Amino acid sequence: MKDKILVVDDERDLRLVISDFLIKEGYEVLEASNGAKALEVVYEHEDIKCIVLDVMMPVMDGWSTLRELKKSYPEIPVIMLTARTQIDDEVFGFDLGADDYVPKPFVAARLMARIKAVMKKSHMVLEDLFDYEDLKYNKVACVLTVEEMPIELTPKEHELLQYFILNKNIALSREKILDNVWGYDYFGDSRTVDTHIKRLRLKLGDYSRLIKTVRGLGYRFEV
């Protein structure tokens, strides 16, 4: 069975270009011309493996679509396709749960490489329940509790915590964290990692001690 990829863009010609390339690569392609139609397609085809989502669209834009998608399908990787390259826009999108960005204009082969990368990352095996003292993280439900109190995380904080759990007791450079959580061609710098880890530590309370700073390198989730 071929993996399904949903392409969402209001430009028909661009959808056709992307779709033709993906079909040649062996994927089954679904299309939608706006966010509202995209949500309908996802509800009908819950086995979609990746979504390529434009930001600027009529009826329902990419931001609103992404927000709704991640509420019900946080496990489906989403690549934002956009002509906007402002760092603030990208940070906003990542906080909503975007897995990667591809700026327009783009080379089809580059988009394909991004799709393969986020799909590979989504297939990484993470234990369904991480249980350490009074800190518990349910990967399936995306629920973090500390001393039985639920802690609300942003989608990107969920990804960051999941990456730490998956690589517990391993020293991780800021660059490696940036590549695996934000994507290989993220335009920001390692300060993005520091900022998100600072927020995550605050939410972990006493368990912030688990995220150790490795001087001159990055961080280690030590349990």
Q: 95: which 2 tokens?
A: 């906080």
- Which contacts qualify for 27-32: CB closer than 8 Å, 24 or more apart? 27/2, 27/3, 28/2, 28/3, 28/4, 29/4, 29/5, 30/4, 30/5, 30/6, 31/6, 31/7, 32/6, 32/7, 32/8
What is the predicted pLDDT for the residue at 70? Answer: 85
pLDDT in tens, 149-159: 999 999 889 98
Kindly give the interhelix angle for 155-166 and 87-96, rounded to the nearest 10 degrees.
70
pLDDT, tens digit (0-9, with 9 covering 90-100), for 75-106? 888 998 887 655 566 677 777 888 888 888 88
The CATH topology of domain 129-221 is Arc Repressor Mutant, subunit A (1.10.10)
Confidence of residue 110 (pLDDT cuts 50, 70, 90): confident
Q: At what angle do helices 191-204 and 155-166 cross, to 10 degrees?
A: 90
pLDDT confidence bin for 204, thresholds 50/70/90: very high
Lowest mean pLDDT among 25-29, 107-111, 127-131: 127-131
Q: Which of 121-134 are b and which e, b meaning 16 or more Cβ less than 10 Å from the residue's Cβ?
A: beeeeeeeebeeee
Q: Per residue in 34-49, pLDDT tens?
A: 999 999 999 998 789 9
What is residue 141's predicted lDDT score, i.e. its pLDDT? 81
- pTM here is 0.59
Beta carbons within 8 Å of 207's beta carbon, 6+ residues apart: 132, 133, 135, 146
Class of domain 4-122: alpha beta
Is residue 156 within 8 A of residue 97, CB to CB? The reply is yes
Q: Where are the domains of the chain?
A: 4-122, 129-221
Please tell me the predicted confidence (pLDDT) of residue 187.
56
pLDDT confidence band for 189 (50 / 70 / 90): low
Q: Please give the pLDDT value at position 2.
A: 84
pLDDT at position 124, please?
55
